[in-house]
Structure 1
């Protein structure tokens, strides 16, 4: 509406400026001032008179001048807390959701002003690196963390988490923080704390009774959500928890909710909790549960070469690179990692490189060049490579995404579908994971809880390719144990980054989605 309102001479613009509707009149007025979109998240408060444009202008400034990024972010946080409280009572504020709405703007500003700076300074001393969040309150940091789930580095999260606790005083009560934010995004926060091995710390800083309430709420009413995101978060969190007592408590809460759904004849709920229970029990090898047989999905611990090969015996891989700084840095390293004793490298193609095994089994790899991203040449290369593969009846059963999580949408859009193995860095959360499985229902997915690194991705790829060349069955646990052993003497930070990588058989969120899809398709 802003766009049309700014064109006063147009038919739409005239209608907007002549409207008597309070919301439309406010939009019309805002369209005349500099940086109107920065006012949009507060539209509901402006219309109601709770906020005045003059007071907001002191923070937003006048065009490029006078913008106070810290004060603006803090105002977004306080508005989010207020709006989320209203939403629990069935009152959804105007411009709460959608492009340039409150939550969209809050996420963008959290990433731009805080997460990106502390990520980029990861090699600097801690006091220098974390300076950007020096003035943030515990609630400010809380929202920064949950809004930056797909972007924040492991070390950035841990330093930020520690500062959040420090700013709560000598005796932090973490349940008071959740109360302060009205439990807004608390399931996402709990999931992230589990993934970063901080959940025990967080729960231990509140009374045991409060901890029980929090975790019960985390597991409860998963069937009420429109998507499976909350259930996937519970599954992923369980796989990250090492505290046996906490695992046992979560399992007991799952059992209670399964019984509740059964008593209420809630079909969706019964499926969700039954699958979670089976998956959680299978995670303990002493229970001797064959998860594949129990929930009706293909094997998750192994995959045969035959399952990867086409009718001509070729195992085709496609590797997606992007033309940003990281892509251009790691592409030569990737290509040069293939020994000419085992592989024939064909660099004659302008937009991609072809790598073929010299001996059987036939492993053929196609990787697009990381051409200039600003000119969209990397995307063009991927389109042309896809056309070449299709023309030559080459269908990739292994797909590797060598790029940041924000490029994953493009990789998914270019996937041929039905890949059997997918190697990622971070998958970027539930939305991407769900879409990946929709495109590739039986895929074994290797991902990381946090941000993937080029060096580790390379080691995973090399290990995978060596197993394929051997012609032997791919046993994920064996491969994972071998890679883990190679990291035993590596620097602590690199070792910890590797420990955030998740093999297919431990990717409980992906397993849950597959199982749920199979279950609901069959019934």
Structure 2
């Protein structure tokens, strides 16, 4: 039992802290202490803030980090635990760094460049928070001249620009990425850095995310052109190498799946395909290798089956062995409750973008003879009866982001029906609020730009059969609303949703909008297909 608890502590550290007191009688005191201390070393800020009493109960700390954490008065300073333990940084000095935005960013990047630094989760959370705020600031100035729009990042180093771009992935506009990428190349030139040196400088941190972004926004060749041929080949091979040793290997593998979907250059494909075979064979021949690692490399290998440039027979064999889940079709019968009603729920949030997005959504259905709009205290209900099918769309007012969903949930519960289509219409920091309300029956989930690994994995845990619509970078209401309106008409037609056919029709209507190409339909979302297939194979 003690061993099982230790394993659980590694996979669900915060859950362990919640129940740590209950485990004292099960695990030897030394074992209990070191488990608890290691978790605090990864989550120092959150640990002190939420579990200070647990920290104080460790009478004879075995780690230097614990002794420092027990003395800290300001939980915020615990983010810089790495500097306190290994560089003698005082709490007072930490406060000064945190209060200086530029110094704080530089310090976090410096910490992150070390492979086994303390406070990993806290450092990552803060880098993401800083990056998302900066990216949103740049996004909001999209109509201003570039000299004004990018003024706040003009003095940043190449490493700092790289960090903002990778940690701000979920919110970045195409134009924001392109503007920052061009400035990144300029800074690399000023600092005499090629791509290899830049990635070394940031400790390879999130390099797969960066490559995925570059490929998605068609800037990958420009980045690779900063390196010599040998370094390019090594980088491409590194994308696939040693996924099994990564702490977040499933997240990394999902990013790799997305990269595969975007790369079409035969030379690059050749390097990737040679390396994936080597890695699969390494894992297969490795004594004690985990089945999950074989599955990861097996699925990734099979993804090349229809665009093999080397090892063609083997890649096709892998594609047959590890068949990707087919997300090309949704049966009409799966899109309606027992009372033959398609229930949808849109989640809006209380900010400037939320109100504009809500107004745009509603405008699609106003003054339409086939649609009826009923305004309630905390939400609006949009209904339609067509072709013997009924649709009800519940959307909370942005100012009722808490009361609206609760009122809607109460109504659906009383009627014993559930939401089948869920649409998130908010920034990435609101995504968890939407996801926690997704029912198991949901078949279509529109996540917008929030389709990164963590959110997709949580959606699939809630609704394993969901088809996910997402965007590369932030979407736009000029595409979202006509796209979703046309999808609703397709649902009401009573026909099965054939995604390739539907997407072809939508492309004819919206293809002139440059932002449309950033939208990813379910049948082309290799990251989602990878995760679904992985969980299916694991169950086998």
Class of the TM-score when normalised by the shorter of the 2 chains: 0.7 to 0.9
What is the Cα deviation at residue 432 of structure 1?
0.7
Indicate conservation of the 8 Å contact 1:2/1:28, yes or no: no
Secondary structure at 1:318 match in 2? strand
**2:359 aligned with 1:332, yes or no?**
yes
**What residue is the counterpart of 1:68 in the other structure?**
100
Structure 1 match to 2:180: 160
How far apart, CA to CA, are the structure 1 residues paired with 2:89 and 2:169?
30
The reply to whether residue 464 of structure 1 matches residue 464 of structure 2 is: no
User: In the superposition, relative to structure 1, how do residues 349 and 59 fare at CA in structure 2: closer, same or farther (>3 Å)?
Assistant: closer
Q: Is 1:357 aligned with 2:384? A: yes
How many residues in Structure 1 have an aligned counterpart in Structure 2?
487
- Residues 1:117 and 2:137 are matched in the alignment: yes
Check whether the contact 2:332–2:497 (CA below 8 A) recurs between aligned residues: yes
Q: Is the counterpart of residue 151 in structure 1 residue 171 in structure 2?
A: yes
Contact 1:316 1:397 in 2 (8 A): yes
Does 2:515 correspond to 1:481?
no
Distance 1:307 1:12 in 2: 48
Correspondence 1:302-313 to 2 at 5 A = 302-313=329-340
1:398: how far off?
1.7
Instruction: Give distance in 1, aligned partners of 2:132 and 2:286.
Output: 42
Question: Is the partner of 1:479 in helix, strand or coil?
Answer: helix
Q: What does the per-residue CA deviation read over 1:323-377, in whole Å, with 9 as the maximum and x for residues that have no partner?
A: 32222222233223126555342414322232222332423123232242xxxx3
Deviations 1:52-87 (A, max 9, x none): 566656655xxxxxx432233223222332x33xx2
1:316–1:395: 8 Å Cα contact kept in structure 2? Answer: yes
Equivalent position SS for 1:357: strand
Provide closer, same or farther for how the CA distance between residues 357 and 416 of structure 1 changes in structure 2, counting only shifts above 3 A: same
Shift of the alpha carbon at 1:257? 1.5
Give per-residue Cα distances to partners, 1:135-155, cap 9 Å, x unaligned. Answer: 111111122222222222222
Distance 1:190 1:392, change over 3 A: same
* 8 Å contact kept, 1:303–1:473: yes
Quick one: distance in 1 between partners of 2:458 and 2:64? 40
Mapped contact 1:417–1:440 kept (Cα < 8 A)? yes
Matched with 2:301 is 277
1:135 aligns with 2:155: yes
Matched, 1:244 2:259: no
Per the alignment, do residues 202 and 43 of structure 1 end up closer, same or farther by CA in structure 2, a change over 3 Å counting? same
Work out whether residues 17 and 25 of structure 1, in 8 Å CA contact, stay in contact via their aligned partners in 2.
Answer: no
C-alpha displacement of 1:387: 1.7
| Partner of residue 370, structure 1 | 397
Whether the 8 Å CA contact 2:467–2:522 is kept in 1: the answer is yes
Q: CA separation of 1:299/1:309 partners in 2, compared to 1, >3 Å: closer, same or farther?
A: farther
Partner of 1:77: 109
* Counterpart Cα distance in 2 of 1:132 and 1:397: 42
TM superposition shift of 1:97: 2.4
Tell me, in whole angstroms, the C-alpha distance in 2 between the residues paired with 1:273 and 1:241: 18
Residues 420 and 49 (structure 1), Cα distance of their counterparts in 2 relative to 1, 3 Å cut: closer
Q: Distance in 2 between matches of 1:4 and 1:425?
A: 32
Find the partner of 1:507 among 500, 503, 525.
525
* Residue 233 of structure 1, CA deviation: 0.4
Secondary structure, aligned partner of 1:354? strand
Alpha-carbon distance between aligned partners in 2 of 1:104 and 1:2, rounded to the nearest angstrom: 10
Aligned pairs for 1:193-204 within 5 A: 193-204=214-225
User: What is the CA RMSD across the aligned residues, in angstroms?
Assistant: 3.5
Q: Secondary structure at the match of 2:298?
A: helix
CA deviations on 1:85-140 (whole Å, 9 max, x unpaired) are: xx2xxxx43xx224xx333333333334x323222222111111111111111111
For structure 2, the residue ranges without an aligned partner over 5 or more in a row are 1-43
Match of 2:212 among 177, 181, 191: 191
Verify the 8 A CA contact 1:423 1:445 in the aligned structure 2: yes
- SS of residue in 2 equivalent to 1:367: strand
For structure 1, the 5+ residue unaligned runs are 61-66
Whole-Å Cα distance in 2 between the matches of residues 158 and 76 of structure 1?
Answer: 24
Q: In structure 2, what is the Cα distance between the partners aligned to 1:386 and 1:46?
A: 47
- C-alpha separation between the residues in 1 aligned to 2:366 and 2:48? 61
Contact 2:511 2:517 in 1 (8 A): no
Matched residue of 1:167: which SS?
Answer: helix
2:235 is the counterpart of 1:217: no
Q: What pairs up with 1:4-43 in 2 under 5 angstroms?
A: 23=65, 26-27=68-69, 31=73, 36-37=74-75, 39-43=77-81
Shift of 1:518: 0.9
